[in-house]
Structure 1
Amino acid sequence: MSWIRTLLSPHRRARHYAWVDSRGLCQAFHQGQQPPTGPQWVQVHECRLSWLQRPLPSAARVAPVVTQPRTGHPLPA
């Protein structure tokens, strides 16, 4: 019966991360729903083995979503 719940529950897509060393070379990949800890990990659109030991292409990085803080002030008319 639990398989019905898994079919009906919303699934979070796994995200892809690449570990970039101090020289800018891709050293490892990670896939998961939670981002790995550490500043070396960057989110990428996909994991390609051809990126290992090479510079990570700039188009591979996912652009961070910037949100504006809500101040609670109404917009001027």
Structure 2
Amino acid sequence: MFSLRNLLAPRPSMRSFALVDAQGICRALRQSAQAPQGSGWIEVQHSCLSWLNRPLPASARTAQVTPCLRVRQTLAA
């Protein structure tokens, strides 16, 4: 019964993240349900090992609206 419950229970979706240094070089890749702690981690559409030690392609980044902009937009309206 335990395995049936695991099959039917919703699981958190895995998201992909890349660690980018100050020069825009991808230093690490990670998949997790939550954003990693620390600076430099950005969410990407998928992980690709060929990005390591190379500049992260702009097309890999997911479009995100920062919370500060969202608050400013609602206050301006």
Query: Smaller-chain TM-score range?
Result: 0.7 to 0.9
Q: Larger C-alpha radius of gyration, 1 or 2?
A: 1
Residue aligning to 1:8: 8
2:51 maps to 1:44: no
Residue aligning to 2:21: 21
Identify, as 1 or 2, the structure richer in helix. Answer: 2
Q: How many residues align structurally?
A: 70
Give distance in 2, aligned partners of 1:62 and 1:12: 18
Taking only aligned residues, the RMSD between alpha carbons, in angstroms, comes to: 1.8
Runs of 4+ displaced beyond 4 Å: 65-69
Q: Which structure 1 residue ranges, 5 or more long, are not aligned?
A: 72-77
Q: Which structure 2 residue ranges, 5 or more long, are not aligned?
A: none
- CA shift, 1:39, in A, is 2.1
- CA shift, 1:22, in A, is 1.0
Structure 2 length-normalised TM: 0.80
Residue aligning to 1:34: 34
- CA shift, 1:11, in A, is 1.9
Is the deviation greater in 57-66 or in 44-53? 57-66
